[in-house]
Structure 1
Amino acid sequence: MTLVATAHERGITTLTLDAPAKRNALSARLVGELADAFTGCAKDPSVRAVVLSHTGTTFCAGADLKEPPNPYTFVALLRQIVEHPKPVVARVTGHVRAGGLGLLGACDIVIASTDSDFAFTEVRIGVAPAVISMPLLPRMTPRAAARHYLTGETFDAAEAVTDGLVTEAADDVDSALTPVLDALRRGSPQGLAESKRLLSARVLETFDQYAEDLVQRSASLFATAEAREGMSAFLERRDAAWVR
């Protein structure tokens, strides 16, 4: 059973994260399937743009703590989305946590329902949003990033728009997507690809400069006793030992 469903209509390919029982967590298998799907879209001349959507009430809960992806593989996926020759539009109608926010940062346009919510939960399990900082920090306002990285608070779609994480918050996401996708259909393949190259250049410079360091930093954090306690507390649905 595939974890990423694919559909195509009038130049738009929709890739749907389809592991709702695991809240679309980023397992090694899901990351691999998603990377393969994006590769297929890049090679297909009939694809004008890609929509990244989801089943269930959670867009993506972040890393699957039981079956995590190789960090280099996840970095490669984020970079693949950033430098993809076709525009990538995220469709969000639910919760987004941790590594799921990295996926949004890698996308070009993000449309979220007004009842969606977001949180950088890494700090609460003893790690940091290291790898996902590459696509996110160039897009988010510095003060917003500082608050969300450090507190792990949940925030809504309206705040996500103000912070630079989301393009538009809408009561009806599909109605909001319609004019965006119609406009992308009118763009020439070359025009879209070259415009996207201009938009992604600064983000890709961040990958070039920091990817290796951030992968190593993330791996070292997950290997600590504090992170093991944080992950155990999360899985056991209890407060970590450091909570006061």
Structure 2
Amino acid sequence: MPPVHAARATGVTTLTLDSPANRNALSADLVRELRAALATAAADPAVRAVVLTHTGTTFCAGADLKSPCDPADFLALLREIAELPKPVVARVTGHVRAGGLGLLGVCDIAAAGPQSTYAFTETHLGLAPAVISIPLLPRLDPRAAARYFLTAEAFDAAEATRIGLLTLHADDVDKALAPVLAGLRKASPQGLAATKSLTAASVREAVARDGARLTELSAGLFASDEAREGITARFERRNPSWTL
């Protein structure tokens, strides 16, 4: 089965991440399929907005540690979402980890339900939230970003909203998103594209300025001895050797 499903209804294309075997992790296949689906939505004049959602209890578990996508391909995905001439709305009802937070952060609007949780787990694996920092740092409270990037603590939807990761959270995420999508359906394509170019400007600038450098950093960290130990320890369900 393809890891991404697309459906269109009344001006909104919904892209659903559906790769339960790896909790919608960022495999090469998922990133490729998502990029293709976004391009199709971008070319459709009847589409006013894209909703990005998921099956299962995890929106995205981050990098597929068994078969990770090329960091350059992931950067291209983030760039394409930021530059898409239509708003992308994240709908989250489950957990988001590591690279999945970059995917969430680059969306223009993000809404979540009460069961969702969030964690930047990279430092516990010998890695850093390098590429995903590009869309996130322009949007997050700086003190909160430093805390959660460094400690890998998990936090809930209320905290995610407070620090700027989410636009809103609600017990019924679909009810909360109804007026958002209604507003987007009434907007003109030109108006949406021009307005998004304003609101996503800082993210686009960060991609252009820092993308190559942080992609290189990410690739180097993944190839390091510490990362190999951290990832191996995760699969073996033990603490890595550096744990105190």
Q: Which amino acid aligns with 1:180?
A: V
Which SS does the other structure have where 1:228 is aligned? helix
State the Cα distance separating 1:114 from its structure 2 match. 1.7
Which SS does the other structure have where 1:21 is aligned? helix
In structure 1, distance between residues paired with 2:152 and 2:146: 10
Residue matched to 2:34: 34
Q: Which amino acid aligns with 2:45?
A: P
In structure 2, distance between residues paired with 1:29 and 1:21: 13
Residue matched to 1:119: 119
Alignment TM-score, normalising by the size of structure 2: 0.99
For 1:1-244, what aligned pairs fall within 5 Å after superposition? 1-244=1-244
Consecutive unaligned residues in structure 1, runs of 5 or more = none
Q: How many residues align?
A: 244
State the Cα distance separating 1:200 from its structure 2 match. 1.1
Kept after mapping to 2: 8 A contact 1:92/1:116? yes
In structure 1, distance between residues paired with 2:115 and 2:25: 20
Which SS does the other structure have where 2:89 is aligned? strand
Q: Which amino acid aligns with 1:3?
A: P
State the Cα distance separating 1:223 from its structure 2 match. 1.1
In structure 2, distance between residues paired with 1:164 and 1:20: 28
Kept after mapping to 2: 8 A contact 1:20/1:57? no
Q: Which amino acid aligns with 1:85?
A: P
In structure 1, distance between residues paired with 2:132 and 2:58: 18
In structure 1, distance between residues paired with 2:237 and 2:91: 29
Which SS does the other structure have where 2:96 is aligned? strand
Q: Which amino acid aligns with 1:140?
A: L
In structure 2, distance between residues paired with 1:237 and 1:173: 34
- Cα deviation per residue 1:186-234 (whole Å; 9 max; x = unaligned)? 1111000100000111111111111111011111111111110000011
In structure 1, distance between residues paired with 2:119 and 2:13: 28
Q: Which amino acid aligns with 2:91?
A: R
- Cα deviation per residue 1:16-60 (whole Å; 9 max; x = unaligned)? 000122100000000000000000000000111000000000000
In structure 2, distance between residues paired with 1:173 and 1:20: 21
In structure 1, distance between residues paired with 2:61 and 2:237: 15
Consecutive unaligned residues in structure 2, runs of 5 or more = none
- Cα deviation per residue 1:94-147 (whole Å; 9 max; x = unaligned)? 100000000011100000002210000000000100000100000001000000
In structure 1, distance between residues paired with 2:91 and 2:45: 22
- Cα deviation per residue 1:44-85 (whole Å; 9 max; x = unaligned)? 001110000000000000000111111111000001001110
In structure 2, distance between residues paired with 1:186 and 1:61: 34
Kept after mapping to 2: 8 A contact 1:61/1:100? yes
State the Cα distance separating 1:235 from its structure 2 match. 1.2
Q: What is the Cα-based RMSD across aligned positions, in Å?
A: 0.6
Alignment TM-score, normalising by the size of structure 1: 0.99
Which SS does the other structure have where 1:69 is aligned? coil
In structure 1, distance between residues paired with 2:202 and 2:165: 16
In structure 2, distance between residues paired with 1:44 and 1:171: 32
